Amino acid sequence: MTDLEPRADHAALAVRGAVRAGADTPGAEQGSPEHAGTKPPDPSPEPREPREPREPQSAGQLARKRKRDRVVPELAAGATRPSERPARVSEPAAVLLASDLLRWIIPKVGAFPKSVRYGLGSRIEAAHLDVFEELIRAQYCRGHDRVCALEHANLRLQVARHLVRVAHELRLIPENSAVYAAKLQVDLGTQVGAWRKASASTASSSGPSAIQPI
């Protein structure tokens, strides 16, 4: 045997070892017949559809959502929530109307010029205050005292009506304000008259007048 034969055997062994090493690598499987018709997987993710922007919620919608999501605590037996408590006994209609008229007339008088604010303006304000005070007095009186308080309230209301008319004639109160004040005063006079008539019919049958405790 010559020296070339051992060299040929070594070369053949090296080639076979290289072929086996290439078959064990991942890249060698891609060249096999079973993977010849397939494409390698795309590593990039599929594009997502863009989401529609949410409409901004108003303050009322957020408040209703918080109220809906709020947990209402349980109440003990016999307890009531603040919103379910019985309302306070309402005032007489004449007292409420006199209060509304007083709250409306005070800012009007405050806008008068200084030359008449402390003269005619103070008289208008005082007349409406007297009406309000007499109606409060009638609310807590009985019998003849209630009738007298309502008569005084009606008298002071007539004075207040004439004073407001004078202020309108002096152009201290605009036309629409004078009409509104006259309407409130007429409604108040109707309430006071009906209250006085009902009180006078029961004054004879009632006992001695007394002030009711507050």
Structure tokens at 96: 């409420």
Alpha-carbon span 76 to 148, nearest angstrom: 50
pLDDT at 164 over 70: yes
The whole-number average pLDDT for the span 77-95 is 60
Q: At what angle do helices 122-139 and 143-169 cross, to 10 degrees?
A: 160
Give the model's pLDDT for residue 45: 57
Torsion over CA of 64, 65, 71 and 74, rounded to 10 degrees?
30
Give the model's pLDDT for residue 212: 46
Domain at 93-202: CATH code: 1.20.1440.60
State percent of the chain over pLDDT 70: 53
Alpha-carbon span 212 to 214, nearest angstrom: 6
pLDDT tens digit sequence for 165-177: 999 999 999 999 9
Give the model's pLDDT for residue 41: 56
State percent of the chain over pLDDT 90: 49
pLDDT, the chain, mean:
75
Ordered by start, the domain boundaries in the chain are 93-202
pLDDT at 161 over 50: yes
Look at phi and psi of residue 71 and say left if phi exceeds 0, alpha if psi is from -120 to 50, else beta: beta
